Structure 1
């Protein structure tokens, strides 16, 4: 069984995300990193968010820039820019941007 990869997201757009949710920092996990062919990763959040009057527990992350790959997160120093989608009407809808990073080790 593939181990969960813990992730941290800092939502940068929309600009009022923090006001709506009380934080711009999200944490969650994925197993999609295990397949190097995956260009997007489905992430289950530790705590659901509210977005456009919807209760959201799962997000889809993709690289923000053409030619990049999410696996670069393992080499990133401060984070990796991603676009973020949520489920809407049975499909994924990209509506946010964020910086993806691995969680900091607790002291």
Structure 2
């Protein structure tokens, strides 16, 4: 198993997502990205977000368009359009949309500054 890949998930729908959270950007990692055949990835988030008055720390992402593969995110410049689901008692519920892209290292993992 390789080094975990950090992803940035920008939530664009619902449009007021950022009003209820610190940012429209969510950051997290998943081991599912190592499986090229996986149609959906479960992403463990670095921090929780609030949706419908409940907090979530895990999301499920899937390609927004038919025929797309999530692994395209590794070849894209701006990201991959995705549908975003949160966990309910009945299973996963797709209720959001956004863009999945590769994220820079977390601030605590960033290389030390070389200022002189």
Is the structural similarity TM-score above 0.5? yes
1:17 and 2:17 are equivalent in the alignment = yes
RMSD of aligned alpha carbons:
1.5
Mind listing any 5+ residue stretches in structure 1 that lack a counterpart?
none
What does residue 75 of structure 1 align with? Answer: 75
Q: Which has the higher strand share?
A: 1
Could you tell me how far 1:2 is from its partner in structure 2? 4.3
Structure 1 distance, partners of 2:2, 2:58, is 18
Structure 2 distance, partners of 1:3, 1:31, is 9
Over 3 Å off, 4+ runs: 104-107
- The structure number with the bigger radius of gyration is 2
What does residue 63 of structure 1 align with? Answer: 63
- Asked if 2 retains the 8 angstrom alpha-carbon contact of 1:3 and 1:31, the reply is no
Q: How many residues align?
A: 107
- Asked if 1 retains the 8 angstrom alpha-carbon contact of 2:6 and 2:104, the reply is no
Mind listing any 5+ residue stretches in structure 2 that lack a counterpart?
none
What does residue 47 of structure 2 align with? Answer: 47
